[in-house]
C-alpha cells in the first residue's frame, strides 16, 4: 500500500467502515480481500458498496483500502458506500452535487428497534387467547 492520501469514516446500522484512498488503478480492498471475495455471491451488497465509484468519474485513478467492522454484511455494505462517498468529497469537492443527488452522503439513521417488555420481540405480540 502506498502513502495514504485521504481518510474517511462511514456508518450504517451497527457497522463502521474506515477507508483510506491513495493514487492507484481503481482497486477496492475490503478487510484485505477483494470485493468479490468479501461479499461472495451477494451482488446487491457489491452494488451498494461500490455505488459511489460508479457515479464519480475520477474513481479509476485511486485505490481504496477499507476496514469494515460491526453489524452484518448488509450494514457493512452501506457503511463502505458512505465512507467512500465522504472520502471522495475530500478529493473532489465538485462531486458533492452528484453524490448528494444519489443520496450517498446522507447517513442512514435507521436502527434496529429495541425489544419491549411483555412482548417476544420489538413489535410482535404473544398469541391472544379469548378463553
pTM of the full predicted structure?
A: 0.89
The verdict on residue 80 lying in a domain is yes
| Ordered strands of the 6-12 beta sheet | 6-12, 15-23, 62-69, 28-30, 33-34
The verdict on residue 109 lying in a domain is no
Q: Please give the grid coordinates belonging to residue 60.
A: 479509476
Each residue's pLDDT tens digit, 36-87: 999 998 999 999 999 999 999 989 999 999 999 999 999 999 999 999 999 9
Domain count across the chain: 1
Q: What number of other Cβ atoms are within 10 A of residue 51's Cβ?
A: 20
The verdict on residue 115 lying in a domain is no
What is the CATH number for 90? 3.30.230.10
Write out the residue range of the structural domain in which residue 37 sits.
6-101
Cβ atoms 10, 66 nearer than 8 A: no
Each residue's pLDDT tens digit, 4-38: 678 999 999 999 999 999 999 999 999 999 999 99
The verdict on residue 130 lying in a domain is no
On the question of pLDDT at 1 being above 70, the answer is no
The verdict on residue 40 lying in a domain is yes
**Furthest CA-CA distance within the chain:** 71
Relative to beta strand 6-12, strand 62-69 is unpaired
The verdict on residue 124 lying in a domain is no
The verdict on residue 119 lying in a domain is no
Amino acid at each position: 500500500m502506498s502513502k495514504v492520501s485521504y481518510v474517511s469514516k462511514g456508518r450504517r446500522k451497527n457497522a463502521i467502515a474506515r477507508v483510506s484512498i491513495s493514487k492507484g488503478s481503481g482497486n477496492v480492498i475490503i478487510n484485505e480481500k477483494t470485493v468479490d471475495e468479501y461479499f461472495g455471491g451477494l451482488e446487491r451488497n457489491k452494488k451498494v458498496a461500490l455505488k459511489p465509484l460508479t457515479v464519480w468519474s475520477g474513481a479509476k485513478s485511486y485505490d481504496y483500502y477499507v476496514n469494515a467492522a460491526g453489524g452484518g454484511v448488509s450494514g457493512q455494505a452501506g457503511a463502505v458506500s458512505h465512507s467512500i462517498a465522504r472520502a471522495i468529497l475530500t478529493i473532489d469537492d465538485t462531486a458533492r452535487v452528484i453524490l448528494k443527488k444519489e443520496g450517498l452522503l446522507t447517513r442512514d439513521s435507521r436502527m434496529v428497534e429495541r425489544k419491549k417488555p411483555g412482548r417476544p420481540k420489538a413489535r410482535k405480540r404473544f398469541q391472544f387467547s379469548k378463553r
